[in-house]
Amino acid sequence: MLDAAVAGFARHGYRSASMDDIAEAAGVSKPLVYQYLHSKEDLFTACIAREAAALSAAVHEGTREQAASADQQLWNGLCAFFAHTAAHPDGWAVLSQQARTEGEPFARAVSEMRAELVALVTRLIGRAARDAGCDEDLVDREVSGLAHALAGAAESLADWANSRTEDRPSAKETAATLMHFCWTGLESLMKGGRWTPSGR
């Protein structure tokens, strides 16, 4: 039932998705859908909760190797993120597009998942910065912002990768694109390199 609902919401959007069509796709009667999930809002909420939990679990599983270096853990987590969003494009569309545009309480559930993942990235970048001997003021001041930027870039890249009908990159290729973009700069920052506008 939830599989059919996720596909329906991803394809048609929350407002246009039909409970009749969802029930038919699930092979059940419409009254049965309402028996378990009393409204379309409840059904959409259940879809968001399931998809958010599955994505979060995939990323945490990817980063669970505690003995790995921080950049290796981040790489593993990004590979897991992009593998999951590629394997579950409808679920990702519900989270990244539908839930966020429908307001509360749907957007809040996605924000909570995102905050959890940003906290994980913050810990990894912070650990890497401290391991590199970065100034604690730098760590406290900038790591959280960098983690938010990386999370936003990952979300945008997942949308980009899933939208490609030809020459679609693999999860590892997409993760490598983001690591090339972010980690090279992070390494320079950890070594004391700072960007300044040209001509100054």
Query: Could you write out the DSSP letters of every residue in 27-96?
Result: TS-HHHHHHHS-SHHHHHHHHHHHHHHHHHHHHHHHT--TTS-HHHHHHHHHHHHHHHHHH-HHHHHIII
Q: What's the pTM?
A: 0.85
What confidence tens digit (pLDDT) does each residue in 150-167 have? Answer: 999 999 999 999 998 888
Domain extents for the chain? 56-190
> Which amino acid belongs to residue 178?
L
**Higher pLDDT, residue 143 or 87:** 87
Rounded to whole angstroms, how far apart are CA atoms 58 and 12?
A: 26
What confidence tens digit (pLDDT) does each residue in 64-123 have? Answer: 887 788 888 889 999 999 999 999 999 999 999 888 877 778 888 889 999 999 999 988
Q: Token pair of 165, please?
A: 């009908």
> Which amino acid belongs to residue 186?
L
Contact 125, 146 (CB under 8 A): yes
Q: What does the pLDDT read at residue 108?
A: 87
CATH code assigned to 56-190: 1.10.357.10
For tokens 């246009």, the residue is 16
**Residue percentage of the chain with pLDDT more than 70:** 90
Q: What does the pLDDT read at residue 14?
A: 83
